[in-house]
Each structure stands twice: as C-alpha cells, then as structure tokens.
Structure 1
C-alpha cells in the first residue's frame, strides 16, 4: 500500500467489526515488511503461529509490527523481514465487550405441581450476559478451527439447556408455584452457575442471568390476579362492591342493556349500604336503651323544701302543694 511507502506493506486490522461477533481471524496469513497493526477500543489482538499463542496485545492503537510487535512475540523475537518475504502468522481479534443476550422459552415447561398430573405449563423470559475470559481455551476449543464466532451461536447453545435448568431450579423444595417471580433472583443464581459449567471450558464466562417474568396459562393467571385483588382489599363484600362499581364505570352509555345493568347494580349497592346503616343504627339504639338515664333513676326529696312536710317521694307536697319533681 502506497500509504506506507512500501508496495508489500499491509494493514492488520478488524476492518469489518461487528458487535455480535465474538472473534474474527485475519485471513491474510503472511505479514509483509512495513505492515502495521490497528487495535480498536474493545478489541484484543492475538498473534498465533502454528496454533500457538505468540503474543497478546490489549492496548488499542496503531503499531508498527516490525519494531513494536515482533520484539514481544515468544518465538519470533529474532524474525527479520526480507524484501520479498513476510512473516506467516495468524492474528485473532477478540471482542472484549460483555455480550447481552435475550432469551425466552420456545415451548411451555411443565413444572410438577400438586393436583396437576401433567404439571403446570410455564413460560419464562429474560436476559443473560457473557464475555471471553480465557484465550487459551477459546483457541483450543473454538478459534483453532473457526475464522469467526457469533453471539447467536452461543445463544443457541445455552438456550438449548435452559428448559431443563428452569425445571430443575423451579422444582426446588420450597418454591411457591404461584409466586415464582418472588424467587426469580434465587432461581437465576442457580441457573447462572450451571450455565457457567457449559461454557467455561471454551474460554467464556456467563457474568449474569436474569429472569424478567414468568408467564402462566391464562386461566391460572386470572385466578392469581383475582386472589391478589381480594387479598389487597381484605374484605370480600368490599371487593364485590369495588368490582361492581368498576363495571359500572366501564359500561357504555350508548348500550341500553349496559345502562340498565348499571342502574340495577347501583340500586343493589345502595340497598346494601342502607341495610348496613340500619343494622349499625339498631345496634346503637339497643345500646342506648340498655343504658340507665339520669332522670329516670333520680328519686324525689323526702321532705318538702317549702314547708318541711314529709312527702316520701311524692311529686307534690300534700301540705302546701309545692311541686317536688
């Protein structure tokens, strides 16, 4: 390339970088004199000779291979470029980012549940993250025979075992089958450890696993929602009143049948409220009748305050006619 002043020079770089690619191998295996290495942010460059790691370069930048790279290669330190000869090596570029993958169960998972012989069919979805953490294992198991490797291939591999892992950790003793979301973190931790066992020998590590939601069959979900609503209200009669009032609010004014139903429901609510008030009032009246009054229990004087005549509790004095009570 004329840019480097040498027609045999070359640029070693990952020029078609993809976010969804884990690694990419530079295809021209002979590096010419005057060639340069370009490492972009988020990339590492690994020089390989006959499948053996010669050097790993992690700092992004633009390097002269002859003066800045070759001196650090394990067995090629003394290599000298000739005019027409080049260095035959492979350069593996590795994407160092943390990959985020969305997952979801393709088919319902039948989780064993009491009273359901076939199990409870449950779906789930979420995300997991992974990264490359061991270049030697990556090269030995995958990069040694591949020119590139996509995130989608890892996703297919891991989601193939997710159904079994979900069943394993959901079925753990003590899990509430109707409130799995409350235990999602604990279930996710168990699955994370198992997924790591699947990829650790290939030089990768699963750094996170999240369960966003569990999805039940519609009939089961409706039952859960209804029980949750009753639990929040705490009183069945109040729950019924709220449900009726909500139905009234949603009824359409242009529908005569809906209007009539709404009126009847409103009348029933009003009648029930009046009955409740009557019962409450009756209880209060009964209590007031049982309580003695000050005037009923008060006794008249034994002697007339006007003339002193003994009256023995009479309402009028027999001597002077004075009113006593």
Structure 2
C-alpha cells in the first residue's frame, strides 16, 4: 500500500516560473493522495474547480494537500482520495510582486495646438508600475482562457491606449506646449488614473505612472533652445520674425526674387512696427517726465514767491522793513543807521 501511495504522490508547484510572468496554471493532472503544495516567496496559490475559486493560499512553504489544503477548500473539504483515483483541480500560481515596465511612444503623437495647424508631433517615454489587484476578476477575464500571462501582454494592452491618453492630458487647458516637462507630474497623474480604471476590468491595478521626458522634433527643439534666452517661447510673432530672419540669411527663402522680396517686406514692416511702438513708448515716458519736471518747477516758483511775500510782510514791531530818513522819536536825521544816533531809537 505504501508503495502505491508514493508512486501516485506528486508535487504541485510553479514549474515554469519567470520573473516577467504574472500567473501560471497547473492543470490537466490529478492530485494524488500524499501530494505536496509548494508556494515560494512572492507567490500565491489559488485552487480552482470548474472555474470557481475553492481556496487562496498566500503563505510560502511546503504543505501536505491531504491534511493542510483540502480542509480549507470551499466545496472539496470533504473530498476523500480513493486507492486509484485523485482530485482533479486546477491550481493558479500568481506572482504578487509589483512590476515596473518602461514605455515609449512608437510614433509621434500629434497634439492639437493653435500655433501649428497640423498639431505638434511629440514623443514621450517613461515607466509604469502595476500588480495583480483582484484575483476573481483576473480569473474571470484572463486566466479562464490562458495558461499563462506575461508582463509583455500587459504592456501591449496599455500602450495601445497610451497615445490617446497622452493627447488628452497634454491638451488640457493651461499646459505650455513648449515646456511640457514642467507639467509632467500632472500629466502622469491623470494618465495613471485613467489607466487604472481600464486595467481594473482585468483585475490589475496601476500603482504608478511616470513621464521621464517629452521629445520635440529637432527643428522645434532647436527653436526652443534658441529662443529660451530671449523669453520668446510661445510668442508666435517673435517666432515668425526669427524664422523669417533665419530663412533669408540661410538662403532658404527664395523663389525668383518674389518670395524673398515679400519676406523682406514683411520683416521690414514688422521691424518698423516695433520701432514705432518703441518710439511711442519712449515719447510717452518723456512727456510724463516733462510733466513731472514742470510740476516740480511750478512748485519751486510758488515756494520762492511765498518766501518773498513773507519777507515783505511787516514785522510784529509795526515797521515795513525800511529805514526812515528821520527818527520817529526825536526827529533827528538818519544817515542809514539801524539806530537813531541822537536818542538810540531802533529804526529798522
């Protein structure tokens, strides 16, 4: 009897384990009496019977199926092994770790922008994180029809909708199209929320989403670099002026003289407008300064006049400030002295 028991016993374990495998199914075999279940670190084992979950085991280790597993199964807890028969169930092994995946746009995403009628072609790259969040949904939508499921399968599913999500969140109002990196966190947070809602349908949760960089076409990147020091990013008029100047100087604006003449005329008009605007601004500043100066001069004149008036005002002694020719006290003739030479009366 012992010989046959050992002969029929087997080991239930994840035989084809890979770091990039999300789950693997042990099936199409009978579990014999005396079999062992082995669960390694980072794995959960789910017993299935006719597609329904019988039990979920999360502790790592080696377990005797007869005594340590069957008593915890929902509808199979009373199962009795026969001498020549075993228990036919499926065991789904799930990788419980959080996966990190790199992503990148396969082709430029055309982001609508008023500056460019055809849209701004932008590439982006970064990483996202996910893990299995709902075993029942995963079994119902994926594991029921697949033997295994890889990280690459999830990546394909996510990248198929990533372009639309990038377009949605980059185009949100308030985003500076020429400085998207400043809004990378907000864009990534919005994409993560949308992806999590979509992947929830297959029992997978998106635990993180990062945008490492946005990449512009080379000609756009060159213009951004050139205009950054002049604070012209996003100013279409200055962008056109610089582009026109570059085109004329490089000889790219041609066409039998007509196109070049038209470009030169446009550039000249723009430059003239800028000069007139600057002149008007300078004149306004000058007039404002002159007005201030005139006001100050008028104030000074009023102050000087007030001082003169005060000087001519009679003193408290009753005099008018002039020295009399004769002393008002004794009648003696005054020769320009401040005091009467006869009686000493103050004359001024």
TM-score (norm 2): 0.64
5+ residue gaps in structure 2? 232-348
Alignment of 1:29-108 (within 5 A): 29-108=29-108
Report the CA distance shift for 1:215/1:44 in structure 2 as closer, same or farther (over 3 A).
Answer: same
Q: 1 CA distance for matches of 2:44 and 2:14? A: 10
What is the match of residue 120 of structure 1?
A: 120
* 1:147 and 2:147 matched: yes
Write out per-residue CA displacement over residues 11-61 of structure 1, whole angstroms, 9 at most, x where no aligned residue: 000022111111000034310011000000010000000111000000110
SS at the partner of 2:74?
coil
Q: CA deviation at 1:228?
A: 3.1
CA distance in 2, matches of 1:171, 1:75: 53
Contact 2:5 2:33 in 1 (8 A): no
Match of 2:20 in 1: 20
In 1, Cα distance between the equivalents of 2:38 and 2:109? Answer: 48
Provide closer, same or farther for how the CA distance between residues 179 and 107 of structure 1 changes in structure 2, counting only shifts above 3 A.
Answer: same
Partner of 2:189: 189
For the pair shown, the structure with the greater C-alpha radius of gyration is 2
Query: How far apart, in 2, do the equivalents of 1:20 and 1:230 lie?
Result: 49
**Could you say if the C-alpha distance between residues 62 and 4 of structure 1 is closer, same or farther in structure 2, counting changes exceeding 3 Å?**
farther
Compute the TM-score of the two structures, normalised by the length of structure 1.
Answer: 0.68
Alignment RMSD, CA only? 1.7
Aligned residues: 230
Q: Structure 1: which 5+ residue stretches go unaligned?
A: 232-325
1:214 corresponds in structure 2 to: 214
Q: Distance in 1 between matches of 2:115 and 2:225?
A: 20
Contact 2:27 2:89 in 1 (8 A): no
Deviations for 1:232-251, whole angstroms, at most 9, x for unmatched residues? xxxxxxxxxxxxxxxxxxxx
Instruction: Give the Cα separation in 2 of the matches to 1:145 and 1:16.
Output: 18
CA distance in 2 between partners of 1:4 and 1:167 (Å): 65
